[in-house]
Amino acid sequence: MNGLKFNEDYGKFKQGMELMMKPPEFSVGTTPSQIIYTEDKMKLIHYIPTVAKTHPVPILIVYALVNRYYILDLQPDKSVIKKLLEEGFDVHVIDWGYPSGSDRYLTLDDYVNGYLNNSVEKIKERCGLDKITLLGVCQGGTFSTMYAALHPENVQNLVTLLSPVNFDSDKGILNLWAKGLDVDKIVDYYGIVPGDFLNSAFLLLDPFRLMIDKYVGMFDRIECNPDDAACQLRNEEFIKNFLRMEKWIFDSPDQAGETFRQFMKDCYQKNLLIQNKMMLNGKKINLKNINMPVLNVMAEFDHLVPTDASIPLSDAISSTDKETLVFPTGHIGIFVGSKSQKEVCPKIAAWLRPRSLLNGKAEEKTESAKEEKPESAKEKMNEQRKTTRRARVNKK
Amino acid sequence: MRDSDRLNMEQSSFESTQEFYDQWINMYTATMGKLVEMPAVGPAREKSEKMMKGFSTFINLYAAGMDISSNLQEVFIEAMQKVQEKIGADMDGEISPEKYKEFYDIWIQTYSETFKDFAKSGHFVSDLGKLNAHLMDFQKYNREMLEENYLKPMNLPTKTEIGEINKELYTLKKTVKELTSQIKELKENK
């Protein structure tokens, strides 16, 4: 029996090695899209809708500066973005790009009040709306929270996905490690903090699982039946997905030094955001300014952003329409795990759907909005926007 | 040599190494360390003072590295002992080729859990912080020496100079963006 098991495992290893020596071609982020705005290295991507009529309020997905946004569109059959498009949403995402030496002095304010704000304005202008939905992921959710607190007039709904706001948690190893770091020395030496530096920290969180067991597990998942074509296809697909994930994990952009400095010191070390003490360009971020509907989504087994880090958002804001969802999955599993397509995306979509109508309120308004010709609704919104802008300029 | 100064060879080899190293560092700090920290004099005063600083920077990094290695060694020994206990309990003490998978599962789970527990300890957090800070100091020192002794004499741009240009560029870009935005707003409200 054990001898048979040994032979089977050897077969898996052999099969896996053969596949790896002739690796299947794979791609990531394949959902059709177009770039609608660029600024420095940042790109604003608009995904081509897959339904005839999308929900009126568009979504802007704000991903973290660490790693890349395409985890949300990693493989065609497990794509958060594709699923949202199928659910009828108009989806945009910010690609922060790869910062280089010239971005060393970019601040958190440049990201939140600069790139993010300009992207929101661009989408508003394109769609002829006053407000859009922000869906922030991980650190991008923290940025979105800051933005929603500073510009609540631009945000119809805020969805935070695995987003830390309370950094004083002893459940996350990263939170503990960050406290002991001399951030100034890191930034002063590197200028642009290398992505590999952060990656080594992530690997150190669980080196045996992440540097050994993951690869052993890869061979273990290989099905060993060389004569079965269907089995070969499954193996190939599995290897493709494994390689996609490998690509994503080690595709780590460097970090703009000043942004890294403020984020690490103000958030991870001093925990200022949740205390309403954090400042961006001299302006205090008051989370009580967040009054729009908020959906706070977490993963129960998240080793990077423990639920402790996200839960306090609900009590810190003044929104009355707020909901918290916790899924029994991990930080990555929530995007590509089996629950992602079946539970996570549908639940987010179900929460957003009634809140993504023009004026975003009651059903009856929806009906009247539906009756209104789309063009006239847009015109009305444009007019409202102009009036607001005029008022703002006059105030200045 | 006093008895207390003798190395205890009954301990594991790594503990002895650590003990030897501790004694060495104490000796270094009391003698050579003082010598290299001594203020330099003469025409090459500044240069030699900077070069001497390199010794302390390296020693600090080495000391931090030794601390963390020593602690990691203890964690590995602890994990190994746990694995032995589990093998005794779950595999009746037998490690045969047929049971390699069971052994692997026990090994990976035990090492992973033990290391994760250690990684959460205040001890490791402090050691990691120190190692990182000393590594940054050391790398910064090396870069400064490279700039000072090679790049500048060869009239080549240094990281410091490029940093200054980048800062200037950043400030200019920011000003242009602000002015563009103001012009746009004024145009729209004409």
Per domain, the residue ranges of chain B are 3-156, 157-190
Distance from CA of A129 to the nearest CA of B (A): 17
* Res A180: pLDDT: 92
The answer to whether residues A123 and A146 belong to one domain is: yes
Q: Which residues of A touch B136 (CB under 8 A)?
A: 182, 185-186, 188-189
Lowest mean pLDDT across A32-46, A51-65, B70-84, B128-142: B70-84
Nearest to A59 by CA among A348, A363, A387: A348
Distance from CA of A159 to the nearest CA of B (A): 29
Residues 170-229 of A with CB under 8 A from B: 170, 173, 176-177, 179-182, 185-186, 188-189, 191, 204-209, 212-213, 216
Q: A106, B120: Cβ pair inside 8 Å? A: no
Position A391 confidence tier, pLDDT thresholds 50, 70, 90: very low
Q: B98, A2: Cβ pair inside 8 Å? A: yes
The answer to whether residues A248 and A263 belong to one domain is: no
Long-range pairs, A270-275, Cβ under 8 A, ≥24: A271/A166, A271/A167, A271/A168, A273/A142, A273/A145, A273/A146, A273/A165, A273/A166, A273/A167, A274/A165, A274/A166, A274/A167, A274/A168, A274/A312, A274/A313, A274/A316
The answer to whether residues A144 and A91 belong to one domain is: yes
Q: Which residues of A touch B119 (CB under 8 A)?
A: 173, 177, 204-205
CB-based contact (8 Å) between A395 and chain B?
no
Position B190 confidence tier, pLDDT thresholds 50, 70, 90: confident
* Res B30: pLDDT: 86
Q: What is the pLDDT of residues B42-87, one digit of tens each?
A: 887 888 888 888 888 998 999 899 888 888 888 999 999 999 888 8
Q: Which residues of B touch A395 (CB under 8 A)?
A: none
Share of chain A above pLDDT 90, in %: 75
Size of the A and B interface in Cβ pairs below 8 Å: 95
- Residue B162 pLDDT greater than 90, yes or no: yes
Q: Is position A4 within any domain?
A: yes
The residues, any chain, with a CB within 8 Å of residue B27's CB and separated by 6 or more, are: none
- Residue B13 pLDDT greater than 80, yes or no: no
Q: What is the pLDDT of residues B89-98, one digit of tens each?
A: 777 766 676 6
Q: Is position A395 within any domain?
A: no
Lowest mean pLDDT across A145-159, A243-257, A335-349, B16-30: B16-30
Distance from CA of B165 to the nearest CA of A (A): 9
Residue B177's identity, in one-letter code, is K
The answer to whether residues A262 and A159 belong to one domain is: yes
- Residue A345 pLDDT greater than 80, yes or no: yes
- Residue A380 pLDDT greater than 60, yes or no: no
Nearest CA in chain A to B186: A393
The answer to whether residues A351 and A273 belong to one domain is: yes
Share of chain A above pLDDT 70, in %: 89
* Res B9: pLDDT: 45
Average pLDDT of A320-331? 96
Catalytic residues of A: 138
- Residue A82 pLDDT greater than 50, yes or no: yes
The answer to whether residues A157 and A301 belong to one domain is: yes
Q: Is position A129 within any domain?
A: yes
d(CA A6, CA A36): 55
Q: What is the pLDDT of residues A134-183, one digit of tens each?
A: 999 999 999 999 999 999 999 999 999 999 999 998 888 999 999 999 99
Write down the mean pLDDT value for chain B: 85
**Taking each helix axis from N to C terminus, what angle separates B45-90 and B13-30, rounded to the nearest 10 degrees?**
160
CB-based contact (8 Å) between A323 and chain B?
no
* Res B98: pLDDT: 67
Q: What is each CA distance from A11 to A17, A21, A140, A215, A382, in whole angstroms? A: 10, 15, 43, 16, 65
Taking the C-alpha atoms of A374, A376, A377 and A381 in order, what is their torsion angle to the nearest 10 degrees?
Answer: 140
Among A205-209, A223-227, B44-48, name the most confident range.
A205-209
Q: B116, A2: Cβ pair inside 8 Å? A: no
CATH number for A345: 3.40.50.1820
Q: Is position A228 within any domain?
A: yes
Q: A207, B128: Cβ pair inside 8 Å? A: no
Domain extent for A8: 1-21+195-253
Nearest CA in chain B to A174: B120
Domain tally for chain A? 2
* Res A19: pLDDT: 85
* Res A339: pLDDT: 83
Q: B125, A179: Cβ pair inside 8 Å? A: yes
Position A365 confidence tier, pLDDT thresholds 50, 70, 90: very low
Distance from CA of B132 to the nearest CA of A (A): 7
Q: Which of A173, A189, A387 to mutate to test the interface with B (most CBs of B within 10 A)?
A: A189
The answer to whether residues A156 and A264 belong to one domain is: yes
- Residue A54 pLDDT greater than 80, yes or no: yes
Q: Between B120, B132, B136, which is nearest A176 by CB?
A: B120
ipTM of this complex > 0.85? no
- Residue A385 pLDDT greater than 80, yes or no: no
Q: Which residues of B touch A177 (CB under 8 A)?
A: 119, 125, 128-129
- Residue A371 pLDDT greater than 50, yes or no: no
pTM of the model: 0.86
Residues 282-301 of A with CB under 8 A from B: none
* Res A120: pLDDT: 98
- Residue B3 pLDDT greater than 80, yes or no: no
* Res B189: pLDDT: 85
Nearest CA in chain B to A4: B98
Among A255-269, A334-348, B85-99, B176-190, name the most confident range.
A255-269
Among A1-15, A186-200, B20-34, name the most confident range.
A186-200
Q: Which residues of B touch A390 (CB under 8 A)?
A: 189
Q: A104, B166: Cβ pair inside 8 Å? A: yes
Residue B186: count other Cβ atoms within 10 Å of its Cβ: 10
Q: Which of A228, A253, A278 is the last residue of a domain?
A: A253
* Res B167: pLDDT: 95
* Res A363: pLDDT: 37
